[in-house]
């Protein structure tokens, strides 16, 4: 009896399934239109339905992978791209898709292997050249990356291709910078005047040498210092940096300024940690400073830095500690205009560190400025800072700099 009842149920369900009308498969143009309108979830469902109806529809499966990638799910896109490439090893779109997802997880070597095959089959592809440029830059081969970015821009002179090319050039080329600032204090303190010139010269893809000279007149005292250092790209993602600046007999600026720093980039974030030692007449300050810079989007860059300092003086036994925190952001308002804003509690900038900021220095500083990178590889920077110190002392600083790549 029980068996007969179950059999009747199964036959009824089977008959209902046979009578159910077949699912309507969305038209290809309709699915593409959904994707073009940015309705990614609906487009993904439509292309999945098409792929379910015809598993050999590679075009639908490639669209599924593209939509996953567009929605920020490279881990879901990669196996779909690879499944198409496994069935059709000559499929250029599948090759480029796999390479793109590999770059998203920072695997430059395998991406280059795949892209070189794609380059041989589609020699004039801007997409292939752009991905090859990204891969070689990730692998630390900046010169090769620039060559591919140039080829991509020549074929398709889009804003995105131009930005990648200019960014690679700005990072790779030698650069020289002239910089000057003036400070105005409330009360009777005389204005400060400072000027400096710096050189960053590339010896090869991994080593750069640094040089810097500076003159300053502050509190009625004229000081000078100079020196240099080096940057070593230890790995494609890790850079070590060291610098020594000396100015014997300086009274306001340090007689010695020694810096050691490590920088590590992973994805959109660059992490830094540095130790800096300042030697003044009658005082010595050591600073430990971790920081992070995050590329939030192609238009927004955010930075956060903390600094802890220890100052020992000949007049007082023991040491005095200080703490500083910086937050800043850069926003691209137009194609070649970046706006800057920042806030600092404590020492606002250790590049301008002087005897009046040692110890437990307490101040609040707000800043704003503009940066204009020109097509001539010249960058113009202007910045204004307003600082409020203890004892009702205010300070305003105007800084102008000109950077030239060559």
Predicted pLDDT at 1: 44
Q: Over the chain (406 residues), what is each successive 10-residue block's mean pLDDT?
A: 38 43 70 82 85 85 89 89 91 92 91 92 88 93 94 93 92 96 92 96 94 96 97 94 96 97 93 97 96 94 97 82 96 95 96 93 97 94 96 93 96
Predicted pLDDT at 23: 57
Numbered ranges of CATH 2.40.160.10 in the chain? 175-405
Q: Which residues make beta-bridge pairs with 179?
A: 196, 401
CATH number assigned to the domain covering 22-171? 1.25.40.10
Task: Count the neighbouring beta carbons within 10 Å of the beta carbon of residue 89.
Answer: 10
Burial class (CB in 10 A: 0-12, 13-18, 19+), 264: middle
Helix (H) or strand (E) holding 111: helix 108-121
Q: Which residues make beta-bridge pairs with 344?
A: 326, 365
Predicted pLDDT at 7: 35
Predicted pLDDT at 19: 47
Backbone angles phi, psi at 86, to 5 degrees: -65, -40
Query: For residue 302, what are the CA distances in angstroms to 51, 127, 192, 327, 370?
Result: 42, 29, 30, 8, 15
Q: Are 322 and 298 in contact (CB under 8 A)?
A: no
Q: How far apart are CA 397 and CA 171, in angstroms?
A: 28
Predicted pLDDT at 298: 86
Measuring CA to CA, which residue among 300, 307, 311 is closest to residue 278?
311
Q: How far apart are CA 22 and CA 24, in angstroms?
A: 6
| 143 secondary structure, DSSP code | H
Numbered ranges of CATH 1.25.40.10 in the chain? 22-171
CA 152, 156, 161, 165 torsion-angle sign: positive
CATH architecture entry for 175-405: Beta Barrel (2.40)
Predicted pLDDT at 279: 97
What would the DSSP string read from start to end of 252-303? SS-SEEEEEEEEEEETTEEEEEEEEEEEETTEEEEEEEEEEEEE-SSSEEEE
Query: For residue 103, what are the CA distances in angstroms to 107, 150, 364, 391?
Result: 5, 19, 41, 54
Q: Are 144 and 174 in contact (CB under 8 A)?
A: no
């Amino acid at each position: 009896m029980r068996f007969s009842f179950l059999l009747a149920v199964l036959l009824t369900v089977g008959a209902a399934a046979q009578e159910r009308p077949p699912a309507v498969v969305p038209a290809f143009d309709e699915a593409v239109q959904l994707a073009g309108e940015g309705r990614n979830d609906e487009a993904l469902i439509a292309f999945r339905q098409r792929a379910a109806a015809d598993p050999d529809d590679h075009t639908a499966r490639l669209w599924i992978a593209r939509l996953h990638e567009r929605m920020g799910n490279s881990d879901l896109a990669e196996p779909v791209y690879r499944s198409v490439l496994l069935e059709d090893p000559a499929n250029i779109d599948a090759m480029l898709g796999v390479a793109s997802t590999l770059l998203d997880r920072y695997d430059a070597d395998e991406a280059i292997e795949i892209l070189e095959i794609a380059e041989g089959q589609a020699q004039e592809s801007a997409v292939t050249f752009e991905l090859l440029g990204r891969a070689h830059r990730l692998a630390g081969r900046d010169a090769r990356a620039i060559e591919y970015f140039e080829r991509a821009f020549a074929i398709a002179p889009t804003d995105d291709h131009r930005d990648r090319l200019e960014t690679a050039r700005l990072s790779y080329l030698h650069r020289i910078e002239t910089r000057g600032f003036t400070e105005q204090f409330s009360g009777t303190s005389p204005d400060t005047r400072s000027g400096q010139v710096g050189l960053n010269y590339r010896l090869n893809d991994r080593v750069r040498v640094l040089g810097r000279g500076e003159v300053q007149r502050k509190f009625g005292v004229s000081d000078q210092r100079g020196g240099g250092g080096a940057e070593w790209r230890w790995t494609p993602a890790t850079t070590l940096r060291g610098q020594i600046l000396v100015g014997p007999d300086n009274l306001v600026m340090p007689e010695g300024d020694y810096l050691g720093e490590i920088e590590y980039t992973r994805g959109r974030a660059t992490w830094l940690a540095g130790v800096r030692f300042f030697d003044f007449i009658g005082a010595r300050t050591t600073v430990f400073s971790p920081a992070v810079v995050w590329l939030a989007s192609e238009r927004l860059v955010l930075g956060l830095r903390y600094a802890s300092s220890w100052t020992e003086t000949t007049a007082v036994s023991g040491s005095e500690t200080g703490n500083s925190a910086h937050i800043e952001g850069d926003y691209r308002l137009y194609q070649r205009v970046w706006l800057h804003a920042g806030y600092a509690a404590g020492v606002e900038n250790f590049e301008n560190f002087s005897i009046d900021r040692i110890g437990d220095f307490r101040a609040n500083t707000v800043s704003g400025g503009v940066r204009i990178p020109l097509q001539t590889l010249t960058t113009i920077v202007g910045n204004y800072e307003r600082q409020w110190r203890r004892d009702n002392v205010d300070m305003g600083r105007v800084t102008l700099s000109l950077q030239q790549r060559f």
